[in-house]
Amino acid sequence: MAASMGGRVAVLVSGGGTNLQALLDDPAIAPSIALVVSDRSGVKALDRAATHDIPAVVVDPAGHPDRDAWEAALLAALRDHGVDTIVSAGWMRLLGRAMLEAFPGRVLNVHPALLPSFPGMHGVRDALAYGVKVTGVTVHLVDEGTDTGPIVLQEAVGVRDDDDWDSLEPRIHAVEHRLLPRAVRALLEGRLVVEGRLVRIVETKGSGDTS
């Protein structure tokens, strides 16, 4: 079935926020960003939110007695801002069942590898360590596993013989900054068709063209 329309996005961040910036730079997405959430204070992503006058909150796990309490605080912040869609953009924490049940089919994540290869926090490093010739970027819907949800978009990035993390990561970022906004636009416009693990993007709503 096609995802329903939605227009209030929370972007979850843990660091510099370059993917957040890609969303802020997209005129079709920026007006829908209602909240930026970080799990740590002092990160550059929060400065990016402030520059664009977007509300931002820090929900630090260290300030809560356990994971359930932290996730309840996170969910409360999202509800306080009327959020209906979540974009995990460099967010370094898993979302639990309560969060996913509150936003069914409305949580996207961008990952710096071609899933199901190299899930987890170190996709670029792990791909280099394995010696692959091709890696890439995946945007997927989030489920309770670690980077196991249905894949929305993927694009390959070649690995050069002399690549290291510093040379490969910028090329990965460049692809992330193109793919993530495309997936977010499709979700907000109701153009994601999800059938089990198969996700299609209807390029023109109501037409038969998909990609």
What are the beta bridge partners of residue 38?
A: 13, 58
- What are the backbone dihedrals phi and psi of residue 49, each rounded to the nearest 5 degrees, phi first? -60, -45
DSSP secondary-structure letter at 2? B
> What single letter denotes the amino acid at residue 200?
R
77's CB contacts (< 8 A; 6+ apart) are 35, 37, 57, 59
* Distances 16 to 20, 42, 82 between C-alpha atoms, Å: 9, 10, 25
Is 111 marked active-site? yes
What are the beta bridge partners of residue 195?
A: 198
Candidates 52, 111, 173, 177; catalytic one: 111
Q: Which residues are catalytic?
A: 111
